[in-house]
Amino acid sequence: EKGVDDTILLKLKLDNVFLPNSNHFELLEWTQRCVVRDPQREVTVGIAGKYTGLVDSYISILKALEHCSAIEQVKVSIKWIEASKMEEDSHVVEALKDVDGLIVPGGFGKRGVEGKIRCIRFAREHKIPFLGLCYGMQLSVIEFARNVCGHTNANSTEVDPHTPHPVICILPEQEEVEGLGGSM
């Protein structure tokens, strides 16, 4: 009623895509593309992170999966895996036994790192499709260095500044930065 949506479209320069004050058919058509009407199959994607209690932390991943599922007409179920609880191999087996794919998202710090690495190793060894985003991809390099290349103490200098096999290093311009937390 107040025209806020039209103002946003103008600011984002989307007014030529979704016409202000139109019947919003274009927007309706756009949003209907993101609906799974007749799923041809179902997949379960595990997300191994340390903020699984607050799923909004991974909203961009969830939205990406939602959009992909609509294009592919596949129902995607999410299995949340709390990485800090994956310190034992038996926990990893239980958590990943029924997933069709694994995503290890970005993050910071030491908490949950070894659990994420265990999940990544399980995915590699059991040929489960894997997507490492940012820190998740860095941890996959560490996992590979440890378990395939034989550098059992390989690590990131962020996690272990004195690792004998620094396969991931902090950028020099970030060495003095502290307390990033989730607020890059």
How far apart (Å, rounded) are the C-alpha atoms in residues 165 and 174? 20
pTM reported for the whole predicted model: 0.79
Residue closest to 101 by CA, chosen among 84, 117, 70, 78: 78
Q: What is the pLDDT along the chain (184 residues), one digit of tens a residue?
A: 677 877 887 888 877 766 655 555 566 676 777 777 788 899 999 999 998 888 889 999 999 999 889 888 899 999 999 999 998 889 999 999 999 999 999 888 888 999 999 999 999 999 999 999 999 999 999 999 999 999 999 999 989 999 999 999 877 777 777 765 544 4
